[in-house]
Structure 1
Amino acid sequence: MNILVVTMFLRSGRMKHVSIVDYGDGSNLEEKMNEWILTNEENLLEIIDIEYTQHGNMFLATITYLEKE
């Protein structure tokens, strides 16, 4: 699984972005995303947004979330 994590520091906590990539037809992207959420559930304070994008045969899900401190 290809994952990229970006951290932003806010006054009220840490906002992070994680991007998960799938190639081909993108049919495994939702499964990969749900697997990441379940694996990291105990560290998640709140999922703020999930954005899906496609660039040719590359499918990307970017999850914006607040991490527990």
Structure 2
Amino acid sequence: MSSSAIASEVERVLTDDYGLAEVQDVSCPDEIRPEQGTTFQCTFNWDGTEQSVPVTVGSSDGQLLVGTPEV
């Protein structure tokens, strides 16, 4: 899964599941091991401030578990 595809999924989860409106500039690392249990941080802008959120690869088929943002 590419970094941009991961960022799109993270943005969807932040907006749809956590109810954050106007999430912008989601960025995730370019090199992510696609192994179950791999955890990394993605950053995003919300309400004028840069935030980060932990993301874990949930399965080998690309499922992502997006942690609760600290907003």
Taking structure 1 as the reference length, what is the TM-score of the superposition?
Answer: 0.32
The structure with the largest alpha-carbon Rg is 1
User: Which is strand-richer, 1 or 2?
Assistant: 1
Flag the structure with more relative contact order, 1 or 2, with Cα contacts below 8 A and sequence separation at least 6.
Answer: 1
Taking structure 2 as the reference length, what is the TM-score of the superposition?
Answer: 0.31
